Structure 1
Amino acid sequence: MSGPVFLHGDGVTLCPADQSDLAFLRENENDPRLRATRNVRKPTSADHLTARLGGQMGRDEETVGLVVRDDDDEPVGFVYLVREETNAVGCRYAELAYWVAYDHWNNGYATAAAETMLDYGFDELGLHRVKACTFEDNAASRRVLEKLGFEQEGVAREEAYVDGEWCDRVRYGILEDEWRARRDD
């Protein structure tokens, strides 16, 4: 059984990571199939993973990172609201990031986890804006963001170097009033 549930979503629960999650996190964050969808070039270390235990992380513990669990309480991914930039807290914005273990792709977990985290960010953290980025060729992640109402705001050309090629990163954003209008529909 996992640690305490922090948030409930549609078919997912979001929980602070605990010691029992370390093997899952290490295995999946070092999986080449997952790394190809993220801008990660170094292996995930035990120290890096341990820093995520408890749900708060980052420079000032303003970043929230939670394990995504399915209805059977199995870990399937990780979701973040990153608030590391100097003005993120004062200007009330965060960056949404997420990943789902390869064996659990195409089951709706990324959408459900991101939606649950957005509700938390706007309702509990008082965010005004949430941004997100994905590689241009990551159609699944782009679909998740667009399904949630994010607007494409631009393309950072050749911003990442992945598997010997320069890749564009697509930038997205959603504002609090846009999220609330979408939720009221």
Structure 2
Amino acid sequence: MPGPTFLEGDRVTLRVPDETDLTFLLEHENDPDVRATRSVSLPKGPDDVRRRFGGTLGRNDDTLALVVHADGAPESEATDSPDDSAADRVGHVYLLRERPNDRTYRRAELAYWVAPDEQGNGYATDAARTVLDHGFDRLGLNKVTAEAFASNEASARVLEKLGFAEEGVFREEAFVGGEFRDVIRFGLLADEWRDIER
């Protein structure tokens, strides 16, 4: 069975990761197509993934790390592997509070990925919207930032749909796939979030 529900969106349910999510997270976080959209350059192993079990990154209890499940998909399928117990997993969403003063400044960073076969279905937008509601309304955040490679137009569209404003470009900030890439930073303030019609 998948981990407990933590938040529910319109199209997705965000669940606390547990041992049944290990294979899904390992497979996709090491997938070249997923890694190409993120700043992760080293392989992820079981211990890296297990640090997220319980819904945090294991370094800071203020950080959320949740598995995205598509609503309306079957909860489980008969299988020989307990790691495949939920066929509706589609991605992972984070609300990171790992930098010094994040709590004091009431800020966080939004990050997410969706499995390549599930992209284009609105799951990233709904998962991000759901954690932003939680961050601004329940955690009292004042600002949430996010970053996307300049070449990742799909992620930039998600952020723009959610009301994020582009705050700047970090030129050749990341080295991914054998080339330097520009990183665009986005920001969203609590007052802006509350003014958006959703």
Q: Quickly name the TM-score band, shorter chain normalised.
A: over 0.9
How many angstroms apart in 2 are the aligned matches of 1:39 and 1:58?
Answer: 19
**Alignment pair present for 1:137 and 2:157:** no
After TM superposition, the runs of 4+ consecutive aligned structure 1 residues lying more than 6 A away are: none
Match of 1:91 in 2: 105
Match of 1:66 in 2: 66
Report the more deviating stretch, 115-124 or 54-63. 54-63
How many angstroms apart in 2 are the aligned matches of 1:163 and 1:27?
Answer: 18
Tell me how large the CA RMSD over aligned residues is: 1.0
How many angstroms apart in 1 are the aligned matches of 2:4 and 2:180?
Answer: 41
Question: Structure 1 regions of 5+ residues with no counterpart?
Answer: none
Match of 2:90 in 1: 76
How many angstroms apart in 2 are the aligned matches of 1:141 and 1:58?
Answer: 26
- Secondary structure of 1:89's aligned partner: helix
Match of 1:178 in 2: 192
Counterpart mapping for 1:104-115 below 5 A = 104-115=118-129
**How much has 1:58 moved relative to structure 2?**
4.2
After superposition, the C-alpha distances for 1:15-38 in whole angstroms (9 at most, x for unaligned) are 000110000000000000000010
After superposition, the C-alpha distances for 1:67-125 in whole angstroms (9 at most, x for unaligned) are 00001241100000000001101110000000001110111000000000000000111
Match of 2:13 in 1: 13
Structure-1-length-normalised TM-score:
0.97
Match of 1:4 in 2: 4
| Contact 1:58-1:84 within 8 A present in 2 as well | no
| Contact 1:17-1:54 within 8 A present in 2 as well | yes
**Alignment pair present for 1:118 and 2:132:** yes
- Secondary structure of 2:10's aligned partner: coil
Match of 1:44 in 2: 44
Report the more deviating stretch, 174-183 or 52-61. 52-61
How many angstroms apart in 2 are the aligned matches of 1:60 and 1:119?
Answer: 20
- Secondary structure of 1:57's aligned partner: coil
- Secondary structure of 1:56's aligned partner: coil
**How much has 1:57 moved relative to structure 2?**
2.1
Letter of the structure 1 residue corresponding to residue 170 of structure 2: A
Match of 1:26 in 2: 26
Change (3 A) 1:134 1:37: same
**Alignment pair present for 1:157 and 2:171:** yes
**How much has 1:60 moved relative to structure 2?**
2.5
| Contact 1:92-1:129 within 8 A present in 2 as well | yes
Question: Structure 2 regions of 5+ residues with no counterpart?
Answer: 76-87
Q: Tell me the matched-pair count.
A: 184
How many angstroms apart in 1 are the aligned matches of 2:162 and 2:170?
Answer: 21
Structure-2-length-normalised TM-score:
0.91
Letter of the structure 2 residue corresponding to residue 52 of structure 1: R
